Amino acid sequence: MSQSIESLNQQFGSENRITFSEGEGGLSRFKLCHKQNSVEGYLYGGHICSFIHSGEELLWMSADSAFAKGEPIRGGVPLCFPWFGPSEIAGLPQHGYLRLSEMQVTASFADEGETRLSLELPPSAVGVSGDFAALGIRVEICLSNALSMTLSAVNQSSDVQRITAALHSYFEVSNVEQIDIPALHGLSFLDKTQDFKQLQQEAPFAITIEHDRVFSNTPKRVELFDPGKGQKIIIESTGNNNTVVWNPGAEKAAQIPDFEGTRQANMVCIEPACALDEAVDLAPGSTFELCQRLWREAL
């Protein structure tokens, strides 16, 4: 059931801290504020499009993104769930149904320490059949001196469900050829651009060609160094078995209709994920949880 902007502001709004409005394409938009930080996003997909930390935008958005039901939003933080990549079931969408579904606001909170918004996608709202329809999905967004996101789901079916997932964060960078991700130096990865060949990451992590790399056994704190901006973005994660690094490269970006390919050099995705053979087998009644916490610091 759709929630009107008026009812959202009346029930869950908080003056200057939590507001709802009509966004691009008529989709319902939310904004959270806490001191110098702000987050904007959409109930459609539980999708965050902007995170301003101490005056600096950390997320990349494509100006060519569609804001229309049935189409994913390009950029920000898409929530890939309950599968990451193509579905094993014919006819189901890439990266799962969550990013194509309208979530419901269930709670909000604001005090001196944080601003929080809770979203839910109940099984009855899911337009797919089979086991996946028995997942009760929640998204918690908490803004303080950092942005925390938690994607969780309860298996309400009587069978084990195999889940893959990712918090597909697009980060704004000065030049993708000049960044570095030191925490991944020396680690092995599967290269999806080379038929899942296993390779080892060399230093520095400068991106000059298409990257689609799935790392295993990564640390729970990964730092994205950006000398051009004089900052590093910190990504702390829990619940993930992998870290994915993606940039389409200039040639492929130009072929993606909603990508705004000319700005490919200004983005990189670093994604806490459970992917490929490191999927999660979720027992009946059990809860899956994937979290990340983001902020920036000066170099």
Query: Sign of dihedral through CA atoms 219, 221, 226, 227?
Result: negative
Whether the per-residue pLDDT at 77 is higher than 60: the answer is yes
Amino acid 128: pLDDT? 62
Cross-strand bridge partners of residue 50: 40
Contact 286, 221 (CB under 8 A): no
Whether the per-residue pLDDT at 130 is higher than 60: the answer is no
pLDDT band at 92 (very low <50, low <70, confident <90, very high): confident
Arithmetic mean of pLDDT, 217-241:
97
The CA angle 239-269-242, to the nearest 5 degrees, is 30
Amino acid 123: pLDDT? 74
Whether the per-residue pLDDT at 126 is higher than 70: the answer is no
Arithmetic mean of pLDDT, 114-140:
82
Query: Sign of dihedral through CA atoms 206, 267, 83, 50?
Result: positive
What DSSP assignment string belongs to 164-230?
A: -EEE--EEE-S-GGG-B-GGGTT-EEEEGGGTTEEEE--SS----S-EEEEEES--SEEEEEETTTT
Amino acid 157: pLDDT? 86
Percent of the residues in the chain that have a pLDDT greater than 90, as a whole number: 88
Cross-strand bridge partners of residue 75: 61
Whether the per-residue pLDDT at 282 is higher than 80: the answer is yes
Parallel/antiparallel/unpaired status of strands 104-110 and 79-80: unpaired
Q: Could you tell me the two tokens for 228? A: 């051009």
Task: Tell me yes or no: is domain 5-298 CATH 3.40.50.300.
Answer: no
pLDDT band at 255 (very low <50, low <70, confident <90, very high): very high
Residue-wise pLDDT for 8-45, tens only, equals 999 999 999 999 999 999 999 999 999 999 999 999 99
Give the SS3 label for residue 43: coil
Candidate from 40-54, 105-119, 154-168 with smallest mean pLDDT? 154-168
Arithmetic mean of pLDDT, 87-101:
87
Candidate from 97-111, 116-130, 181-195, 198-212 with smallest mean pLDDT? 116-130
